[in-house]
Structure 1
Amino acid sequence: MQIRNFSIIAHIDHGKSTLSDRLLMRAGAITEREFQNQILDDMDLERERGITIKASAVTVFHDHTYPDGRTERFMLNFIDTPGHVDFHYEVQKALQACEGAILVVDSTQGVQAQTVANAYAAVEVGLEIVPVINKIDLPSADPVRVAEEIEQVLGFPAEDAILVSAKTGQGIDELITALCDKLPPPTGKPELPTRALIFDSIYDDYRGVITYVRVIDGELRKGMKIRFMGTNKLYQITDLGKLMPRPKQVEVIGTGEVGFIVAAIKDLHDVRVGDTITDAGNPAPAALPGYKPSQQMVYCDFYPSGKTQYDELRDAMDRLSLNDSSFSFEPESNDALGFGFRCGFLGLLHMEIIQERLEREFNIEMIQTAPTVTYEIKKTDGTVFRIDSPSQLPDPNHVEEIREPFIEMNLILPGDCVGNLMKLCEDRRGIYKKTEYIGATRVMLQYELPLAEVIYDFYDRLKSATKGYGTMDFDLIGFRSGNLVKLDILVNGDKVDALSVIVHRDHAEKRGRGLLVRLKEEIDRHLFEIPLQAAIGGKIIARETIKSVGKNVTAKCYGGDVTRKRKLLEKQKEGKKRMKRVGSVDIPQQAFMAILESGD
């Protein structure tokens, strides 16, 4: 039996999940009714948002007939991957578990930013790529133009592109034939000691950690004693299986195959994505190279609130980080919010998804602070270190320079929107690099931008400026020194660390004023007046005041001497002064998120 391992990669919404389901249906693994439901996107969030968040690995069988009439059985192991830039790490993990990739391009939209990024990622790993033009059943489809774009931008011959409609099933047989003929078989050797790459894992309350693996050399058998080479832990396999797409038990997972292992693993920290599993009795001499660690781009704090306790939040995060290795967290404490965690994410959508998964899957209630990026600090004594929160910034007298992360961004957009986009990038301190034309109507712009200027609302502005047709992809290129300062927010005279931000000095006053206006709307009026101030070091650069809730203490006075009214008003004034000194201000969750919306 022949084996083919491949990933399905594409820009967001180009039809990867529908194509995956169509391949499952063609192989007889699912019915017509199940095909309508995008069976591989099994998370509620994936169905609601219409996006893939987690890569899903599936095994199906296909009887391939050669031109000379011979028939041979093929095992097709494929992974449906996410398309959004925030989940690019999931794509990279999937690519390293395969020998080939299907690159899907929408026949109405053509080559987009993530199409280019994913194609380069697959070429870098050395995969055989099969270009596919999807959605040819749509009235606005233009497969000839898109095939030319694929050749012009990515360098794959236009005639090699396979035309399919995942929705109607047109062209699927030609695609499966191309997969069997063009993709190389796995290169592993069955006679060598067992080496299996862990590419994903989940936690099950009844079975412990379930580990998803790709066997590179040797084989895994039920009852076999295994060693995790990274953590040096020993376990015995109690169950082996494959997703077809429902779990199916097997006795052996052979060389080049994909499946899952159950070994009664209770400690979440024993399993790491990218680790190598080997036979404890006959271990492999060296582990597999594994994965490059993911690089977190955005940080924010999560603090337990309501009925949720600190320990519950930590356990939920432990389980979630097992399933999503690009999410990291470490303990953090704050005077205003108590004990919580500093969390790292690949982007804002990733942060939003993690927050929703914690709330839905684990019933967690929490407060989230505004996101920040990592900064590199060079002190006057020459030492260089990184911080991911403005509160970690040392005293300004000890700081020689603050360096911020810069990204190289590729933007693909209609030619008539170039002016709008260039203005947006320049407003965000962007540095123009180059322009390339893709076909007659579309342009690819390349800019270098500070990451801090992108994480807030750049994507929304891009969509507005390009009438929804613009797409973007970016890579971190390093840290650069800038004229940056820490902007502190004082509420009622007290500095609130969770509201501090690092900004460019030229934008500090505008940013501080905008932030205070938003905070004034979000913080409720109290019985005393609340001053809100924005400061750089000891210098106040902006101020707003939340008026106190008034009570008419003279309502019961009528007629008579005016001194009685004055006495009551003076007494009220003294009371409010004292209250302002000792009273505490309740800052709601929305106030922390107001920092996000002060991007303008």
Structure 2
Amino acid sequence: MESRIRNFVIIAHIDHGKSTLADRFLEITGTVSARDMKEQYLDSMELERERGITIKMAPVRMEWKGVELNLIDTPGHSDFSYEVSRALKAVEGAILLVDVTQGIQAQTLANLEMARQSGLKVVGALNKVDMNPPGVEELRGELAKLIGVEPQEIHRISAKTGQGVEGLLDSVVSDVPAPKSGKEMEALIFSSLYDEHKGIIAFVRVFGGEFRKDQRTKLQAVGENFKVKEVGFFAPQLEVMESLKTGEIGYIATGVKDPDRILIGDTIGERGLPGFKLPKPVVFVSLYPDEGGDYDDLKVALDKLHLNDSALEFTPDSSQVLGRGFKCGFLGRLHFEITMQRLEREFGLATVNSFPSVAYKVIKRGGREEIVENARDFPDDPEKALEPIVKLNVLTPSEYLGSVLGLNKFYRMRDVQTGNAGRNIKVEARLPLAELIMDFDDKLKSVSKGFASFSYEPVGYEEAELRRLDIYIAGELVPGLSRVVYKEDVEREGRRMTEKLRDLLPKVQFVQALQAKVGGTIVARENVKALRKDVTGALYGGDITRKKKLLEKQKKGKKKLVGMSRVSVPPEVFRELLKR
């Protein structure tokens, strides 16, 4: 039976066409009829179709020339690299897809390296050849060299028109090895989905044994036993089967309702497969409902998002100014942005958020070490502070190399090295994670006109001179605007933030004093002028004392307003403050 199965993934950079290629596979194999077909069929969320990126992995089973093909469509962004790594463990082969108009990108190289480490058979394909761009054969040779095959083994396809796609499917059948059979009952969880009636549905690859309905089995990482409610495969909708056998990819309905019990990379069965780890959040943001009364709605929304996104972490948080909210952990900035948009789109919730922060290690007086994930908890005068560092890999066309290296003026890029990578230049550097999550992606796209790409991986912690910068508006601390900055940058950043706030904050009926403070020291100060209403406009001539009385009354009213005011910083102001 296993000899008639091929399990594979498509790995590619964002926008290189992996979802469109999956669409053509579904059409050509007759898995989805032309009438039911829609673009990016396997992308489960409207947001994915709109942004053109795949976040949630959607598996599908197809038949091609008597062989069962199981495809996993993986995310293509560094934030989701752990999900990709577990998907690669579930298969024997990978299609490495490269857009001929953009060439080999940084994340392509990162995912290829993961595929090699997993021992996968890699099949190369150049997409969008229908556009007839120059240099296709040169790129074909480059990709062949990268994979270690002859140039003629690299497929030239158009996922849009279907050109060459049947030949690519034939190569999957002929080149990707069939799964090996195992004796122990083992099924690897590579994704999951929440269902009101069936509980959490685990997407699995069976490595050994056979799983059936009503069978008792175990989640190895958490040590929890459960009774299987249902098993089946993806067509791509859920199709019930009697059993899931060795080598197959399908689903197991667990009946478990707690998303923290079903973990990506865990094993269902008699023993745990190697390589499991908990994905760790690297970006931390405190979220508060825009209207104080929406706290319960925000909790319900985050709970629902967590059911299908176990990497999202959140704990209750509170602020004197912003009220009750949640401290959330994300896999990266894209993960954070997608979650914010889902809260708005799917639940109609507007939120106010703190500055994105990273997990700092702080050594306090007396030698006690603690992890600080929220900027407002960073101590005034730590004995020592360490920040997380990433290894950055940038691929850029040679004509933009100078501009990319020029980013050193804005970011603390260290140990910069350059080298050839086919027709591109590879730039390697070390960079503080806090700098990466600010706006590095936007800046890189800007200086390279969108042609450069990057991937990153954490490499540990390094000591740094850091201070907490607080912002006060009208004498009131705004916790969401607190940031951890380098000691040498406190005055410059303080000035930058107060000047930006002066220009961005909406005017109210009293002067808003803006102060940037480090410890008890004011390092920058600005004012937002009052919105002036002409209360004497209706008086034409007449007694001057009447005008004075009205102006005095307005002055007292403004003083009262200052005392009653609640500082409100619109979400778009936070977004603007993130830009350099």
Of the candidates 200, 213, 228, which is equivalent to residue 209 of structure 1?
Answer: 200
What's the Cα RMSD here? 2.5
Q: How many residues align?
A: 577
* Residue deviations 1:463-496 (CA, integer Å, cap 9, x gap): 1211221111111112212222211101122222
**C-alpha displacement at 1:329, in angstroms?**
1.6
Partners of 1:268 and 1:318 within 8 A in 2: no
* Residue deviations 1:512-545 (CA, integer Å, cap 9, x gap): 2221223233433333322110111111111111
Residue matched to 1:62 = 64
Residue matched to 2:307 = 322
Residue matched to 1:25 = 27
Mark the CA change 1:242 to 1:483 in structure 2 (over 3 Å): closer, same or farther. same
Residue matched to 2:188 = 197
Of the candidates 78, 86, 89, which is equivalent to residue 85 of structure 1?
Answer: 78
Residue matched to 1:233 = 224
Of the candidates 556, 575, 578, which is equivalent to residue 593 of structure 1?
Answer: 575
**C-alpha displacement at 1:401, in angstroms?**
2.1
Residue matched to 1:313 = 298
Using the alignment, how far apart are the partners of 1:234 and 1:454 within structure 2? 41
Residue matched to 1:400 = 383
Residue matched to 1:66 = none
Partners of 1:110 and 1:149 within 8 A in 2: no
* Residue deviations 1:85-126 (CA, integer Å, cap 9, x gap): 333233122112112211111223221111101101111222
Of the candidates 247, 258, 261, which is equivalent to residue 238 of structure 2?
Answer: 247
For 1:99-118, what aligned pairs fall within 5 Å after superposition? 99-118=92-111
Of the candidates 163, 167, 181, which is equivalent to residue 170 of structure 1?
Answer: 163
Of the candidates 403, 408, 412, which is equivalent to residue 395 of structure 2?
Answer: 412
Using the alignment, how far apart are the partners of 1:451 and 1:442 within structure 2? 25
* Residue deviations 1:138-196 (CA, integer Å, cap 9, x gap): 2215332112222455545434322222223333333223222222222232xx34221
Residue matched to 2:9 = 7
Using the alignment, how far apart are the partners of 1:521 and 1:169 within structure 2? 52
Gaps of 5+ in 1: 64-72, 279-283
Partners of 1:108 and 1:142 within 8 A in 2: no
**C-alpha displacement at 1:45, in angstroms?**
0.7
State the AA in 2 paired with 1:404.
E
Partners of 2:124 and 2:144 within 8 A in 1: no
Partners of 1:89 and 1:326 within 8 A in 2: no
**C-alpha displacement at 1:581, in angstroms?**
4.5
Using the alignment, how far apart are the partners of 2:550 and 2:349 within structure 1? 48
* Residue deviations 1:330-352 (CA, integer Å, cap 9, x gap): 22111111221111112222111
Using the alignment, how far apart are the partners of 1:305 and 1:462 within structure 2? 32
Partners of 1:308 and 1:365 within 8 A in 2: no
Partners of 2:378 and 2:484 within 8 A in 1: no
State the AA in 1 paired with 2:200.
V
Partners of 1:369 and 1:593 within 8 A in 2: no
Residue matched to 1:266 = 257
For 1:87-486, what aligned pairs fall within 5 Å after superposition? 87-140=80-133, 142-153=135-146, 155-189=148-182, 192-278=183-269, 284=270, 286-289=271-274, 291-306=276-291, 309-396=294-381, 399-439=382-422, 441-486=423-468
State the AA in 2 paired with 1:170.
Q
Mark the CA change 1:151 to 1:426 in structure 2 (over 3 Å): closer, same or farther. farther
- SS of residue matched to 1:288: coil
- SS of residue matched to 1:456: helix
Using the alignment, how far apart are the partners of 1:583 and 1:243 within structure 2? 55
**C-alpha displacement at 1:501, in angstroms?**
0.7
Mark the CA change 1:529 to 1:144 in structure 2 (over 3 Å): closer, same or farther. same
- SS of residue matched to 1:47: helix
Residue matched to 2:474 = 492
Mark the CA change 1:569 to 1:391 in structure 2 (over 3 Å): closer, same or farther. same
**C-alpha displacement at 1:291, in angstroms?**
2.9
Of the candidates 513, 531, 534, which is equivalent to residue 531 of structure 1?
Answer: 513
* Residue deviations 1:406-444 (CA, integer Å, cap 9, x gap): 2211111121111111111343121243211234x5211
- SS of residue matched to 2:577: helix
**C-alpha displacement at 1:14, in angstroms?**
1.4
- SS of residue matched to 2:509: coil
Using the alignment, how far apart are the partners of 1:110 and 1:244 within structure 2? 32
Partners of 1:482 and 1:504 within 8 A in 2: yes
Using the alignment, how far apart are the partners of 1:493 and 1:356 within structure 2? 32
Using the alignment, how far apart are the partners of 1:370 and 1:60 within structure 2? 45
State the AA in 1 paired with 2:443.
R
Using the alignment, how far apart are the partners of 1:327 and 1:159 within structure 2? 44
Partners of 2:360 and 2:373 within 8 A in 1: yes
Mark the CA change 1:269 to 1:292 in structure 2 (over 3 Å): closer, same or farther. closer
- SS of residue matched to 2:444: helix
Mark the CA change 1:267 to 1:483 in structure 2 (over 3 Å): closer, same or farther. closer
**C-alpha displacement at 1:503, in angstroms?**
1.2
Using the alignment, how far apart are the partners of 1:334 and 1:153 within structure 2? 52
- SS of residue matched to 1:534: strand
**C-alpha displacement at 1:216, in angstroms?**
1.2
Partners of 1:193 and 1:218 within 8 A in 2: yes
Structure-2-length-normalised TM-score:
0.92
Mark the CA change 1:576 to 1:150 in structure 2 (over 3 Å): closer, same or farther. same
- SS of residue matched to 2:407: helix
Using the alignment, how far apart are the partners of 1:274 and 1:111 within structure 2? 28
Gaps of 5+ in 2: none
State the AA in 1 paired with 2:203.
Y
When structure 1 is superposed on structure 2, of 14-23 and 226-235 the one drifting more is 226-235
